[in-house]
Amino acid sequence: MTSENITLYFKQGTSDKVYKASMEEADNNFVVNFAYGRRGATLKTGTKTKTPVDYASAKKIYEKLVESKTSKGYMPGKDGSQYVHADTDMKNTGVQCQLLNFVEEAVALQLIKDSKWWAQEKLDGRRMLIHKTDSITAINRKGLSIGAPDTILQSASEVEQSYLVDGEAVGEQLFVFDLLEIDNTDVKTRIYKKRLSQLEKLEFNGSIIIVETAKTKKEKQELYDRLKASGMEGIVFKKPSAPYTAGRPNSGGNQMKFKFYATASVIVTSHNQKRSVAVAIIADKKQVNVGNVTIPPNKEIPAVDSIIEVRYLYAYKGGNLYQPTYIGVRDDICFEDCLISQLKYKKDYA
């Protein structure tokens, strides 16, 4: 039983940050500490263990901490870690995601009955594409190369063919739902029915799982009922006859999503007392305050100007989010995505 430490780096645009995590012996047990800040500057420090804990508990806390930072794009330094990265800098891969518009529940219920639409679970994770050529590259929704758990990369390497798949990373698993390339051939123009069929033939296993697809009215209704009853995030509807189209349409589209609860991406504008941050959204190219969000004791307080995801019951017109709950930092989206159009207002729940 030995101490462990790692130095992680995040460099993108003007941001150049460092994060250090360590598991150290203390009083015949272990503590997990961290330090973070701009590279070259004095780092802020903290601990994940208020008192020393046994080795197994400390190891679990340490690994979870490393996983949370690498999943957000931090790259390991010379110490290395269980996470594998092709490079120390995030690079633009040129890959563009298909982004979905939201629909209201009334529309979702209509799509369940419509034979021209299929349905899948909307996973509550982080968008991740995997590109396998001579090497394996994980890509986020911005098209930037990122780090990924080696469990996912190991499963990706076990498929002999080259491919580019789209999916959602949840912890150390990747749930894939689309195929963009196969054997160095672009298949985005093929209809989804054929892309899904080819995806299923890749026979992923281990940490890569193909998302369940409901195709009939009965299957879609059962999926909808099960996800809603289980408190899952939402459901996605897809036209099996449609190609993969990068970007987000102005409205509608060949793929749309419905959430069982409201979430929003908001901008942290300041730190308050008692582990609370003020947040805002963009309206008419200006930041508009939408209230305060409490950060749980086991979470780091996000930096000013960072983007965070919050869950809430509803928003008041011209006012704040009602009962917002902190989910986590979003480093894979921009200020331009934090629009007021995301919000659902109280009248929508009447």
254 and 267 inside one domain: no
Which CATH number goes with the domain that contains 116? 3.30.470.30
Asked if 263 and 234 touch (Cβ cutoff 8 Å), the reply is no
Give residue 79's pLDDT.
Answer: 33
253 and 107 inside one domain: yes
Residue 302's nearest CA partner among 324, 342, 336, 270 is 270
Whether residue 266 is contained in a domain is answered as yes
From the CA atom positions of the chain, what is the Rg in Å?
Answer: 21
Look at residue 72 and give its three-state secondary structure.
Answer: coil
Which of 23, 49, 81 is the last residue before a domain boundary? 81
Residue bearing the bigger pLDDT, 50 or 228:
228
Number of domains present in the structure of the chain = 3
Residue 146's nearest CA partner among 68, 55, 84 is 84
Which CATH number goes with the domain that contains 64? 2.20.140.10
Q: How far is CA 108 from the centre of its chain?
A: 23
Domain span holding position 311: 262-349
Which of 206, 234, 259 is the last residue before a domain boundary? 259
Give residue 161's pLDDT.
Answer: 94
In this structure, of 6-15, 71-80, 84-93, 140-149, the range with the lowest mean pLDDT score is 84-93
117 and 201 inside one domain: yes
Residue bearing the bigger pLDDT, 81 or 123:
123
Would you give the DSSP letter of residue 283?
E
Give residue 269's pLDDT.
Answer: 92
In this structure, of 111-125, 232-246, 284-298, the range with the lowest mean pLDDT score is 284-298
Give residue 14's pLDDT.
Answer: 60
How many other CB atoms are there within 10 angstroms of residue 98's CB atom?
Answer: 21
Residue bearing the bigger pLDDT, 89 or 136:
136
231 and 166 inside one domain: yes
CA distance 10 to 111: 41
317 and 183 inside one domain: no
Q: Which two tokens stand for residue 266?
A: 């908001």
Q: What is the mean pLDDT of the segment spanning 8-24?
A: 79
Whether residue 238 is contained in a domain is answered as yes
Sign of CA dihedral 268, 269, 271, 277: negative
Q: Which two tokens stand for residue 236?
A: 């996605």
For residue 223, give Cα distances in angstroms to 112, 122, 173, 215, 258.
10, 11, 21, 10, 13
Residue with tokens 């990747």: 174
Q: Which long-range contacts (CB under 8 A, 24 or more apart) does 345-350 make?
A: 345/314, 345/315, 345/316, 345/317, 346/314, 346/315, 346/316, 346/317, 346/322, 347/317, 348/104, 348/314, 349/313, 349/314
The percentage of the chain sitting over the pLDDT mark of 70, rounded to a whole number, equals 93
Q: What is the mean pLDDT of the segment spanning 162-184?
A: 95
244 and 295 inside one domain: no
136 and 243 inside one domain: yes
CA distance 102 to 309: 16
Q: Is residue 12 pLDDT above 90, yes or no? A: no
In this structure, of 11-20, 122-131, 140-149, the range with the lowest mean pLDDT score is 11-20
pTM over 0.75: no
Would you give the DSSP letter of residue 133?
S
Q: What is the mean pLDDT of the segment spanning 317-322?
A: 85
Asked if 61 and 53 touch (Cβ cutoff 8 Å), the reply is yes
Counts of helices then strands in the chain (DSSP H, E)? 5, 26
Give residue 226's pLDDT.
Answer: 96
Asked if 118 and 72 touch (Cβ cutoff 8 Å), the reply is no
166 and 225 inside one domain: yes
Whether residue 95 is contained in a domain is answered as no
Which CATH number goes with the domain that contains 275? 2.40.50.140
